[in-house]
Amino acid sequence: MRRRGFTLVEVMIALVVTGLVVSLAYATTQAGVDVEGRLLRHRDGEERAVAFRSLLTDALRHQVDGLRGGGTVFVLADRVTATGASADSLHLVTRGVVAPLGASAAWDVSIWLAGDTLQLEGHPVDAASDAVPIRARLGGVQQFDVQVLGRGLAAAWQEQWPEPDLAPDAIALTVRHGDVAPLALVVRRGLERAP
């Protein structure tokens, strides 16, 4: 006599194999979704870093020269964290926040490291201005180091800036961000006036 159905063992084996195939398909789909999410976060972080760097470069390049005995245009505070990493802060007056860069109204810009986030905030010097203040943040920063090049041909790079009424000729920033190599940025003030 021929059997017309499956035995209990055959049904159990079929269910186990089907369960394994479904589990494998689900794990593969989940891995794909996880990778996509990580790639989106990485790309978002890279885009944020590029935008932050561009804003920072424009602000530094178009800083106000200042006059000896005049108002404060550049303040550098050399600071360190509890772990010994640089956590400098910077305040400057610039014309490089809104277009036309270098010819716009003056802005007060402050840059500092708070925890693991590099903060940049700016507002127009003219309180009557209708311009919207800017605020940018870059997370995952372990170190923010600033050095300035004094004025004149014999100037040297230094960690402090003793003349808040004058802007230095150049600024070198080092930002350690995430697991990538440190971002090194050197900006010379008023580069568009140089031949």
Share of the chain above pLDDT 70, in %: 92
Decide which of 191 and 104 is more confident: 104
Query: What pLDDT score does 113 carry?
Result: 93
Give tens-digit pLDDT for 120-165: 999 999 877 888 899 999 888 999 999 999 888 888 999 999 999 9
Mean pLDDT of 168-192: 82
Query: What pLDDT score does 154 carry?
Result: 83
Query: What pLDDT score does 194 carry?
Result: 46
Query: What pLDDT score does 171 carry?
Result: 94
For the chain, the average pLDDT equals: 86
Query: What pLDDT score does 195 carry?
Result: 39
Whole-prediction pTM: 0.72
Structural domain harbouring 193: 1-195
Full DSSP string of the chain: ----S--HHHHHHHHHHHHHHHHHHHHHHHHHHHHHHHHHHHHHHHHHHHHHHHHHHHHHHTB--B-TTS---EEEE--B-TTS-BB-EEEEEES-SSSSTTTS--EEEEEEEETTEEEEEEEESSTT--PPPEEEEEESEEEEEEEEE-SSTT--EES----TTB--SEEEEEEEETTSPPEEEEEETTGGG--
The domain total for the chain is 1
Q: Residue 100 pLDDT more than 80?
A: no
Which region among 59-73, 82-96, 98-112 has the lowest average model confidence (pLDDT)? Answer: 98-112
Mean pLDDT of 174-192: 78
Query: What pLDDT score does 122 carry?
Result: 92
